[in-house]
Structure 1
Amino acid sequence: MLTKNHVKLITSLSQKKFRVQHQLFVVEGVKGVQEFLNSTFELYQLFSIEAIFEADTILVSEMELQKISSLKTPNTALALFKIPKQNEIKGSGLTLALDDVRDPGNLGTIIRLCDWFGINNLVCTKSTVDCYNSKVVQATMGSLARVDIQYVDLEAYIKAYPHDVFGTFMDGESIYSESLPDEGVIVMGNEANGVSESMEKLVTKKLSIPRFGNLQTTESLNVATATAIVLSEFKRK
């Protein structure tokens, strides 16, 4: 049965400090829960209005699920999984780096894009939104279970990186005319300010996504949209 302690714990995990304290995060929805059950993530507790999972389940009513859900319309199941320890960053292939991305929806979409395009390494500045934020987890649609995410001192990581570092800028070379490698770091910047000045100094190749509109007045693309275009071009080449 659902207890007051369950409710207190689950609702506290909406805040990062309690996720860090308990080393737990929340996954909602049958599909999302099943994705994590099929992964290497370790289940802590599972709550559902139906006995539809092979894992141990605490059965709850729809009203009880409403109490612990962060969604307006709760989706059958909610689970707590343990936050894994960070792995060492793998050295080969393409790595995506996020420089202070703050919007949970953007990060969730970018994680899905990494999963789609086979980018296994996603490194983030420590000021980037927490990937275990419930809105991020929801937006990843299960892809969080398959992408290795690291929060690092990004400047130190880039300085030690031995291959090309790419970044997107308005004054960069058109990504459609560049010969793009299958090894390197791609830096994507903050929603409002783009790639930071300190990180820009470490970028070895500046790229741009050309505007084709007649008026040429749009200032920038959404960072998740830009990431989709950039990853698509790197993989296409």
Structure 2
Amino acid sequence: MLTAHKIKILQSLDRKKFRQKYNLFLVEGNKTIKEIPHSPYQIMELYSVNPQEINHIFKDTTQVSATELKKISFLQHPKDSVAVCKLPEEAAPTEVPIEIILDGIQDPGNLGTIIRLADWFGIEQIRCSIDTADVYNPKVIQASMGSFLRVKVVYEDIADYLGNTNNPVLGTDMEGENIYTYNFPERFSLVLGNEGNGIRPEIESLLTQKITIPRFGRSQATESLNVSMATGIVLGEIFSAKA
């Protein structure tokens, strides 16, 4: 039963401290929820306006009205179901050929989109600085469109990691080698910086190569690209050479 107390708890999960307190986060929409059983994540509770569509996912699905669903949803226009999932144990990073390193990405939508791009291009792991947006933020989950189920996201001291890796460390910058002429190595880390400030100086000092997306337009009104847009362009060029 969806009690007032339960609604209050679920509504609080938009904040990291409450996600950690209750060890829970929300996933919305049948399309993504149906993928959860094939992932490391565990559904604890499931609320749906049409439980018959999703009973095979979780036997104890609770039917709710559209009004009740809206109370526990973080969407302006709630979808069909909301799954309450258990926060997993923090995954240990692994060695992968190409990985994305995020230095202080603050916007949850950007993080979710980057996770989705990583999934699309087959990048299995993203390492994030401790101050990067939380992967279990509802806006990240929504923007990833289910890709958070397949891409490992870990948080750590990225300066310590980059200072000890043997792989080349590439970083996006307004001044760097043209991505369309640069010969990308087989293994490397790709660093992307904060939306407003870019890559921190202490991280920039660890780069082995700066790369840039050249501007072809004549207008100077656009000063820079959104970090998730830049990620998509760079990954597209990296994998076009591998195709």
> What TM bracket, shorter-length normalisation?
over 0.9
* 1:138 partnered with 2:142: yes
* 1:180 partnered with 2:181: no
* CA-to-aligned-CA distance 1:182-230 (integer Å, 9 cap, x gap): 2110000011111111110000011011000123453211000000011
Equivalent of residue 113 in structure 1, options 117, 131, 145: 117
Q: Secondary structure at the match of 2:128?
A: strand
**TM-score with structure 2 setting the length:** 0.94
Equivalent of residue 88 in structure 1, options 92, 98, 102: 92
Q: Secondary structure at the match of 1:235?
A: helix
Unaligned runs of 5+ in 2: none
Whether contact under 8 Å (2:96, 2:125) holds in the other structure is no
* CA-to-aligned-CA distance 1:26-73 (integer Å, 9 cap, x gap): 111111211223322111110001121111201111111111111121
Q: State the distance in 2 between where 1:135 and 1:36 align.
A: 18
* Paired letter, 1:86: E
Equivalent of residue 152 in structure 1, options 153, 156, 160: 156
Equivalent of residue 163 in structure 1, options 167, 190, 200: 167
**Identity across matched positions, percent:** 44
Q: Tell me what 2:37 maps to.
A: 37
Runs of 4 or more consecutive aligned structure 1 residues displaced over 3 Å after TM superposition: none
Structure-2 change in CA distance of 1:182 and 1:86 (3 Å): farther
Q: Secondary structure at the match of 2:123?
A: coil
What's the offset of the Cα at 1:234? 1.6
Whether contact under 8 Å (1:182, 1:234) holds in the other structure is no
**TM-score with structure 1 setting the length:** 0.96
Q: State the distance in 2 between where 1:220 and 1:17 align.
A: 33
Q: Tell me what 1:50 maps to.
A: 50
Q: Tell me what 1:7 maps to.
A: 7
Q: Secondary structure at the match of 2:27?
A: strand
RMSD between aligned alpha carbons?
1.1
